[in-house]
Amino acid sequence: MFARSAFRSAAPIKKGIRSYASQGSSGGGIGGVGYAAVAVGAAGAGYYYYTSTQGSPAVPAKINSETAFKGGDQGFISLKLDSIEKINHNTIRMRFDLPEPDMKSGIPVASALVTKYKGPEMEKAVIRPYTPVSDEDDPGHLDFVIKKYPNGPMSTHLHDMTPGQRLDIKGPIPKYAIKENVHDEIALIAGGTGITPMYQVARAIFKNPNDKTKVTLVYGNISEDDILLKKELHELENTYPQRFRAFYLLDNPPEGWTQGKGFINKDLLKTVLPEPQSSNIKIFVCGPPGLYKAVSGGKKSPQDQGELDGKCIPCQRPSEITNIPFRHSERSWIQQGPGLQVLSVCDRRRSK
């Protein structure tokens, strides 16, 4: 059964565990980290960040290859901003030109890229990870959805950019290798800009005609205007109604809102997620620290997922949650049966 109660309109959620769309702790810095060992969880907002004083200069954008990003010791490449689309009061969609019009990004699913900026008055360069929202096979361009945070040096810089300016970008940073039909069902639990890696995963699954995986999305925001990639998600729902379901929650829903109100909690997840005993299920979580705390427990560090102690998905048999990224562990948390695994696809500290 795809979902126990399908996606019936939920009654107003009881007073929740926490607000997750805009609240989060500030991230710490890691200096001098080589790319091959970078252990960052990168989502659209990129809550984790690090600073560096010894970043190598960006290489020229001309690359003699069909893919732009090769990872390893390639270093940063400089991409030109082509256009900006306003999404809401604090979020934009940015399109960058790849070095050649027929070139593809070359990033696997799921993975992210890191951006670098050093202002004239800044002693250290600031680096943030972001997950592209454009298709990996789209030629000639790369799209990001960027939310602006108060006093955030990177998000402010990106929002201040104008077409024709350039940004240093490198990657990819692999997070979890999506393979067809490995899992019967996948559940995506997202808050705010945590939707970007979730959309990357869902898009890749439905793009593959051989993949029969079913996908459930639970996505929370403050208001209806804060729902990102709404058009793209609705398109997936309409195109794959038997395999994709999206459930939205709002802290401040408008009059007439028929879906969830409040916060993600155990009762909600028990209603909308698949039965763990019925199939091989993997759960991905991406959002602010409050969402992690409630659903799966906060990360101990970028390299260590830490104990799974969330109130929403309790464990029966503790083990070690798969750490994404960077180290991959075959062990995972088991809850209510051997078929369900919970893993984090990003380290969600505040992006600035």
Single-letter amino acid, residue 52? S
Task: Tell me: is residue 129 an annotated ligand-binding position.
Answer: yes
Torsion of CA 235, 204, 191, 91, to 10 degrees: -70
Structure tokens at 163: 């077409």
Q: Is 128 annotated as ligand-binding?
A: yes
d(CA 165, CA 167): 7
Tell whether 198 is in a known binding site: no
Report d(CA 229, CA 232) in Å as an integer. 5
Residue 162 annotated as binding? no
| Spatial separation of the C-alpha atoms in residues 255 and 223, rounded to whole Å | 11
DSSP 350: B
Is 296 a known ligand-binding residue? no
Closest C-alpha among 249, 181, 176, 164 to residue 215: 181
| Residue 292 assigned ligand-binding role | no
Token pair of 19 as six digits: 């607000």
Q: Which residues have C-beta within 8 Å of that of residue 34, sequence separation ≥ 6?
A: none
Q: Is 154 annotated as a binding residue?
A: yes
Binding-site positions read 128-130, 145, 147, 154-155, 196
Binding-site positions for FAD read 128-130, 145, 147, 154-155, 196
